[in-house]
Amino acid sequence: MKRWIAIGLVILVVGGIIVYNKVLHPAPGSTPGGGGSRSEGAKGGSGGGPGGGGPANVNGFVVVSQRLREDVVASGSLLAAEQVDIYPEISARITQLNIREGQPVAKGALLVKLFDADLRAQLLKLQAQADNARRTEERNKQLLARGGISQQEYDIVTTNLRSSLADIELVKANLQRTEIRAPFAGVIGLRNVSSGAVVSPNTLIARLQQTSSLKLDFSIPEKYGPAVRTGSSVSFLVDGAAKPSQGVVYAIEPGVEEQTRNLRIRARVNNTSLGYRPGTFARVTLTIQNEQSLVVPTQAVIPQTRTNQVIVVKNGKAQFKDVTTGLRTAGVIQILSGLAVGDTVATTGLLFLKPDAPVKIGRVITLSGSGPKIASN
């Protein structure tokens, strides 16, 4: 009796499961009564995706070529094209001071004159001695021609003449040290001495800077070094400026700094109309790449262990392709190899697609000025 009761309970449980699966919870593509066509069920699942009966419905992007630009931002400093601190070469008293602070000066202009009366007197004495030695040399030359003196005596006279002339040149050189002239055209800074002061070679008189043209010094990581060349344009912005200014790279340090692994670069800036001051901080932007490249939206790339992949939709099938990527921006990523212009890649449903799976493109993504944009297919 108990055996028949157990068998009846098993039959009731199995029957309940069958009724639940077939009537109360029918499978996709069927009706509770078992009627309906399979094509109608497939039409109802045209959205695709996991568990769908038809092809997966995804968004697509047609590979295009556009100009990509990569900028490197660095901190820089504006420096004077030429700069010199003015020190006297000798110790003496200032007799003439022609420095107008903050004013431009021409090349060769006399800035400072030091006391030189003793040197000028010494020069007059040496010139008189040289004149006498020259007359003596002329007379002895005639005597030598007639055999009146020996060659040795004549050589002694000529030596005395050359010695006197050398002493004159030495005094003239010392006289030049009493005059401090501008080595180049520029703007003189604030002076630290007054007329009548006794100065020495350690006394800083003023600073001269050439500001019509400035140097822009900055450093970038060494990996960008091959992309920088002489003649490359740089853009920089200083505090208080309304818009960026431009410079041109004219010198690159041959070696990389060992401590920072940065490459030092110098650009030239025409400061005639800008009016920037040496020592100003500048935020430098250097364009190291600006070329036509194939791009796809960043969400279309599937990172792998050793490479990257994209899903190309071709003839309604999903094809997984390995690609080599390059520059990445906020919206797109550069494709160096693996794709061609006109290929359609999937941008949604990437986790549910398998190789050769049926795919339907629902919407097509296009590129706008602000990045990827979805457009109706």
Q: In this predicted model, what pLDDT tens digit does every residue of 125-151 receive, in sequence order?
A: 999 999 999 999 999 988 888 888 889
CB count, 10 Å around CB of 146?
7
CB count, 10 Å around CB of 55?
18
Share of the chain above pLDDT 90, in %: 46
Q: Which CATH architecture has domain 116-177?
A: Orthogonal Bundle (1.10)
CATH 2.40.30.170 location in the chain: 72-81+209-291
For strand 110-114 and strand 344-346, is the pairing parallel, antiparallel, or unpaired? unpaired
pLDDT confidence band for 90 (50 / 70 / 90): very high
User: Residue 16 corresponds to which tokens in the numbers above?
Assistant: 């309940």
What's the CA gap between 107 and 368, in Å, rounded? 56
> Is the CATH number of domain 72-81+209-291 3.30.565.10?
no
Alpha-carbon distances of 256 from 154, 225, 263, 284, rounded to whole Å: 64, 9, 5, 19
What's the CA gap between 268 and 212, in Å, rounded? 11
pLDDT digits (tens, 9 = 90+) for 324-335: 888 777 788 888
Share of the chain above pLDDT 70, in %: 83
CATH 2.40.420.20 location in the chain: 56-67+292-376
**Maximum alpha-carbon separation in the chain:** 170
pLDDT digits (tens, 9 = 90+) for 248-281: 999 999 999 988 899 999 999 999 889 899 999 9
Q: Which residues of 77-107 are buried (b: 16+ CB within 10 A; e: fewer)?
A: ebbbbbbeebebeeebebeebebeeeeebee
CATH class belonging to 56-67+292-376: mainly beta
